[in-house]
Amino acid sequence: MIAIVSSEGEEIKLERPVRAEGSVETWLTSLLQSAQGSLHAIIRNAVAVLNDPGFNLLLFLDKMPAQVTFIYT
């Protein structure tokens, strides 16, 4: 797996792809960890963007997943 997609259609690319092989518990745990790490990286990037003097709210809202934009509001 290389990305996760929300029910709203938002896609987050995984920083570390996960193979669905072996026991379900093992690869689901790997998927969860990869998804959390990827989202953490997106949030770190969002914080940097928010602190940029040239911050553009509309561009930020357009480029970031909705769950990350709630950090700003």
Question: pLDDT tens, 10-52?
Answer: 999 999 999 999 999 999 999 999 999 999 999 999 999 989 9
Q: Total domain count for the chain?
A: 1
Q: Quote the CA–CA distance of 73 and 40 in Å, as a whole number.
A: 18
Q: Are 15 and 73 in contact (CB under 8 A)?
A: no
73 pLDDT more than 80 = no
pLDDT-based confidence at residue 70 (cuts at 50, 70, 90): confident
**Which one-letter amino acid corresponds to residue 54?**
G
List Cα–Cα distances, 66 to 26, 43, 63, in angstroms.
Answer: 29, 11, 9
pLDDT-based confidence at residue 72 (cuts at 50, 70, 90): low
Nearest 5°: the CA angle 14, 16, 20 is: 90
pTM for the full predicted model: 0.83
Domain with 13 in it: 3-69
